[in-house]
């Protein structure tokens, strides 16, 4: 592989070197017959085209930087997998960057820029202004998943978190919940804040419930949901409805309820989560949840990417909202 | 970013263009004072070095192709995250390729080769000869996680699956299990086969148990574990020990037992899984499992990568075994 060049292939196929380049470019014009000759010669020699010179000439690498963090949440892992498939199908490569915090993001962005990536896709929950500024500075299209980042080069596809919060409140009202609990994610999580607003506004408007609403805070992990509800039950509080900002925490909530054994889900207390992770469908949880429809979000992101790559010399910015889909399961069906 | 070049930075800093290149290379020799001048000028102009010309000259991209599949298994998601962190710390970039099957692998390998990646790291469970041949043909170092792939350019870091199977059998013998069940993964999964061998050999040698051993097969998913044990119980079989080839299936096993309600874990039946996924530690499962020590596997893989990158012109091949660590939890502690 390291020694075979396009010159070797051109010689064997009896064509020019530029015909070899064109044969390997899906957009270039070349006759079928010439292309077949080139491909046969390339296969015989074990030649693979080198993209690097064309990156140098065009400034386009066909690589997209994908910035991730928190793959221990199955929702992000599944979103990454779907995105990687969609990018592969669009013949774009994924340059993956794992980021722990704003500091590693800065280093990561410098590295990405040095590879002349065409765009960045990120699902970071962090929505700080400094992150948005760092991203905008690159003057490279950025597509964000479920983030509140705004900036001239940044487009965002967001789950309708506020609307889902309203829907969750609707379930609570229909079931006659009188002691509702909201289990929030970390304060910096903008999606969690929007879910809370939709939920609280609707409860308040309907019946003045909001005064009675108990607000707990977790950090989006299973254990934080478990601990929060365990402490609540130890204090003698008896909630009859719990809306958790994500499914990981909701699974912890359900295990804390089961372990304590005083309140049974769904007969004594209904539970609603968010993300529709695989564990929500596990028989041990059977959790009502909101599916963010990652497939639709990825499709919209790919559409935005396409637009962004066609308008690469000036900033492109857009926000699109995807309605989350309520998946009703046993955890909100008392009396079954 | 698109317009600022190293020439601009050199002018502003009052140094040569080659000093600018050296300032951005961690290995090049340059005085601290000159480097500071260059970095200040670069920051003022918003300059970021371009790696592409140096890839062209050296043939080294500092990119590693990471081939993945099955991120819905938390074990693979966590392995990917750790690997991405280790590669970032080694100043190597991750070119991620999602692969569904042998067919997509072939296309993926062609694409990776065209970016002149330095090496490939993969955790594909597929161990077919055609995959090994395709990888070897690239003449690029390949590091495999837990795979049975062999070939001149392929090195492998493997969990001691046979040894862990022996350990699992030891638990069964110590607890006096008389109706053991082995729940296998898909036939093509080499790791699952090795676990089975260690488990069956030890049971057989100890007491001729193996004749009584019930063998079930799943496909590594939660639902397949749930279905397999549900059917077993419906047939009236009463196992007192179940060793599952992975934790996803073991969680399904535990939910099937709990739902049926005849046999309680751990008092009537003990359950052992493999991978130590986060869900194994969840209170609802409390599953004894084998931790593959992804941190050690990643460290060994990075070590192999380092060796491979230093011997890049001839094939490097090595296999290293990592002992899995038994994590004992409630599912094998009857009477507690």
Report d(CA B230, CA B211) in Å as an integer: 22
Identify which of A2-6, A21-25, B60-64 has the greatest average pLDDT: B60-64
Does residue B126 register a pLDDT over 60?
no
The verdict on B72 and B149 lying in the same domain is: yes
By the CB < 8 Å criterion, does B44 face chain A? no
Residue B333 domain-assigned (yes or no): no
Does residue A214 register a pLDDT over 90?
yes
The verdict on B113 and B210 lying in the same domain is: no
The verdict on A110 and A15 lying in the same domain is: no
Mean pLDDT across chain B = 87
Does residue B42 register a pLDDT over 90?
no
Residue A305 domain-assigned (yes or no): yes
Residue B328 domain-assigned (yes or no): no
Q: What Å distances lie between residue B71 and A84, A86, B67, CA to CA?
A: 11, 15, 11
Closest CA to B238 of B178, B171, B185, B288: B178
- Per-residue pLDDT of B317-336, as tens digits, reads 899 999 999 999 999 999 86
Other CB atoms within 10 Å distance of the CB of residue B76: 24
The closest CB to that of A51, out of B49, B96, B115, belongs to B115
The verdict on A17 and A65 lying in the same domain is: no
Position A68 scores a pLDDT of 85
- Per-residue pLDDT of B165-190, as tens digits, reads 999 999 999 999 999 999 999 988 88
The verdict on A10 and A89 lying in the same domain is: no
By the CB < 8 Å criterion, does A118 face chain B? no
The verdict on B77 and B119 lying in the same domain is: yes
Residue A250 domain-assigned (yes or no): yes
Closest CA to A123 of A88, A97, A141, A153: A97
Q: What is the number of domains present in chain A?
A: 3
Q: Are A122 and A66 in contact (CB under 8 A)?
A: yes
User: Is residue A261 very low, low, confident or very high in pLDDT (cuts 50, 70, 90)?
Assistant: very high
B257 vs B18, which has greater pLDDT?
B257
The verdict on B109 and B141 lying in the same domain is: yes
Question: Would you call B113 and A48 a contact, using CB atoms and an 8 Å cutoff?
Answer: yes
User: Is residue A312 very low, low, confident or very high in pLDDT (cuts 50, 70, 90)?
Assistant: low
Q: Is the ipTM of this complex over 0.95?
A: no
The verdict on A16 and A82 lying in the same domain is: no
What CATH number is associated with residue B248? 3.40.50.2300
Does residue A53 register a pLDDT over 70?
no
- Residue A272 forms beta bridges with which residues? A243, A288
CA atoms within 13 Å, Cβ hemisphere of B285: 33
Residue A277 domain-assigned (yes or no): yes
Question: Would you call A96 and B94 a contact, using CB atoms and an 8 Å cutoff?
Answer: yes
The verdict on A274 and A319 lying in the same domain is: no
Report d(CA B92, CA B50) in Å as an integer: 15
A212 vs B300, which has greater pLDDT?
B300
By the CB < 8 Å criterion, does B163 face chain A? no
By the CB < 8 Å criterion, does A60 face chain B? no
Mutate to test the interface with B, among A58, A69, A115, A153 (most CBs of B within 10 A): A115
- Per-residue pLDDT of B78-123, as tens digits, reads 888 899 989 988 888 899 988 876 556 767 777 777 777 889 998 7
Query: Which of these ranges, A86-100, B202-216, B294-308, has the smallest mean pLDDT?
Result: B202-216
Residue A329 domain-assigned (yes or no): no
Does residue A105 register a pLDDT over 80?
no
Does residue A260 register a pLDDT over 60?
yes
The pair of structure tokens assigned to B233 is 């119980």
Position B1 scores a pLDDT of 39
The verdict on A198 and A244 lying in the same domain is: yes
Identify which of A58-62, B35-39, B112-116 has the greatest average pLDDT: B35-39
A249 SS3 class: helix
Does residue A210 register a pLDDT over 60?
no
Domain that residue A124 falls in: 60-159+294-324
Q: Are B47 and B10 in contact (CB under 8 A)?
A: no
| Rg (alpha carbons) of chain B, rounded to whole number | 25
Question: Would you call A56 and B56 a contact, using CB atoms and an 8 Å cutoff?
Answer: yes
Closest CA to A175 of A267, A290, A276: A267
Residue A330 domain-assigned (yes or no): no
Among B residues 226-265, those touching chain A with beta carbons less than 8 Å apart: 226, 251-252, 254-256, 258-259
By the CB < 8 Å criterion, does B49 face chain A? yes
What CATH number is associated with residue A27? 1.10.260.40
């Amino acid at each position: 592989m390291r020694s075979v060049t396009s010159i070797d292939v051109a010689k064997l196929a009896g064509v020019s070197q530029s015909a070899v380049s064109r044969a390997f470019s899906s957009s270039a014009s070349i006759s079928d017959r010439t292309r077949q000759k080139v491909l046969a010669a390339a296969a015989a020699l074990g030649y693979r085209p080198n993209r690097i010179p064309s990156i140098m000439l065009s400034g386009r690498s066909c690589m997209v930087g994908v910035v991730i963090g928190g793959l221990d949440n199955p929702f992000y892992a599944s979103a990454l997998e779907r995105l990687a498939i969609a990018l592969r199908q669009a013949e774009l490569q994924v340059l993956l960057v794992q980021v722990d915090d704003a500091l590693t993001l800065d280093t990561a962005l410098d590295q990405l820029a040095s590879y002349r990536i065409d765009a960045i896709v990120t699902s970071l929950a962090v929505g700080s202004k400094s992150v948005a500024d760092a991203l905008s500075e690159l003057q490279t299209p950025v597509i964000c998943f479920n983030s509140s980042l705004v900036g001239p080069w940044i487009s965002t596809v967001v789950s309708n978190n506020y609307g889902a919060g309203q829907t969750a409140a609707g379930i609570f009202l229909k079931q006659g919940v009188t002691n509702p609990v909201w289990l929030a994610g970390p304060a910096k999580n903008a999606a969690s804040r929007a879910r809370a607003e939709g939920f609280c506004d609707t409860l308040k408007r309907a019946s003045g419930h909001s005064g009675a609403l108990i607000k707990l805070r977790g950090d989006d992990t299973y254990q934080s949901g478990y601990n929060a509800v365990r402490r609540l039950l130890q204090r003698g509080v008896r909630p009859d409805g719990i809306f958790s900002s994500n499914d990981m925490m909701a699974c912890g909530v359900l295990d804390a309820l089961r372990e304590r054994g005083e309140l049974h889900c769904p007969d004594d207390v209904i539970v609603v989560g968010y993300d529709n992770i695989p564990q929500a469908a596990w028989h041990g949880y059977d959790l009502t949840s909101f599916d963010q429809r990652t497939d639709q979000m990825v499709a919209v992101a790919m559409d935005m990417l396409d637009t962004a790559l066609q308008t690469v010399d000036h900033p492109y910015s857009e926000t699109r909202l995807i309605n989350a889909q309520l998946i009703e399961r046993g955890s909100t069906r008392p009396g079954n």
